Amino acid sequence: MDTRFYTKFNLNDLDGLKKMLDGASHETVREVARHWQLLHDELVGEDGQGGLQKRFTDSVNKVMESWHGEAANRFQKKAQEIVQNFQNGAPFAVHTAKMMAATADDLQKAMDKVTPVHDDWNWSDDVWGEMPWSDQIDDDDLNDMLKKGVSTSGVLEANKDNLSSHQTKRLEAAVAMETLGTAYRTRASGLAKPGTGVPRGTSDDQHKERPDQQDLGGIPTPMPTGGGLGGGGRGGGRPQDPHAGHEVRASQDARDAQNAEHAGHQWRNGLGGLGEAQDA
């Protein structure tokens, strides 16, 4: 079962993430779930022994009390097939009701975490955090890290002491949306035709787009409707790679390293981070 989502939530700012939930209504989804349950109850009753199935069966039995012969037997056989169809269809209705109710819960959790968040100007981030000596992580460095496909929650945890409140709110909202994306695909996979393993609307090519995600569930995830990168300071800090445990070097550091080679120093490359100067 493929539960990977493909929207790069963590490369959107807070406003962009909030816009993804514009018009979303967990109450509406829950109402859809209720109607699927009502469909089940209408077909076979709450206990599985009533509803249209029972009324149809009672009517057929009443007819068969006074109708006999070959035609009556054929009629009764066809009636039994219809009753079986009631019994076969009812479980799908109640299962869909459960999946939709779970989806409503997933959506409500994401909305509760993202929609109420406000990201106003503050002195600490927007003045002090802009100073050259600040250890607050620069937005460009943070975005470069996220573009490499590292875990959003991992970056959030590894750099919690050096993120601005803008960046923290943005990443926390992104984690909530990633959780929703995975949940949507999980619920949709539960509604896929039994035995297919791949929900409608997905393909093997899509599965290759995000090899960094674990194979965790197809409803299309919310797509960005606005917002871009950014949302924080321009201090001197560098984001910690949650996998390597070192600082990530920015592109300017790479240029500085090249200029320093003639002095007998070099800098380590790649995700290993901002290296210490070593004698050549």
Looking at residue 138, its pLDDT comes to: 86
232 and 166 Cβ atoms separated by less than 8 Å: yes
Gap between the Cα atoms of 189 and 217, Å rounded: 5
Weakly modelled stretches of the chain, pLDDT under 70: 1-3, 123-134, 192-280
200 CB-side CA count, 13 A: 4
Beta-bridge partners for 247: 240
* Tokens 């990443």 belong to residue: 171
Cite the DSSP H helix spans in the chain.
14-20, 26-44, 51-64, 70-114, 123-126, 139-147, 152-158, 165-190, 204-207, 251-260
**Token pair recorded at residue 15:** 């406003």
Q: Which residues, 6 or more positions from 114, have their beta carbon under 8 angstroms from its beta carbon? A: 17, 18, 21, 173, 176, 177
CA-CA distances (angstroms) from residue 248 to 161, 172, 253, 265?
16, 21, 10, 18
CB 119 within 8 A of CB 14: yes
Closest CA to 82 of 58, 57, 62: 57
The confidence score (pLDDT) of residue 135 equals 76
What pLDDT sits at residue 139? 87
Q: Which residue has the tokens 């070593």?
A: 278
The whole-number pLDDT of residue 71 equals 97
What's residue 175's pLDDT?
97
Q: Residue 254's pLDDT is what?
A: 40
pLDDT of residue 98: 94
Answer positive or negative: Cα dihedral of 266, 272, 274, 277. Answer: negative
Determine how many CB atoms are found less than 10 A away from the CB of residue 117. Answer: 14
- Whether residue 135 contacts residue 235, with contact meaning beta carbons closer than 8 Å, is answered with yes
pLDDT of residue 31: 98
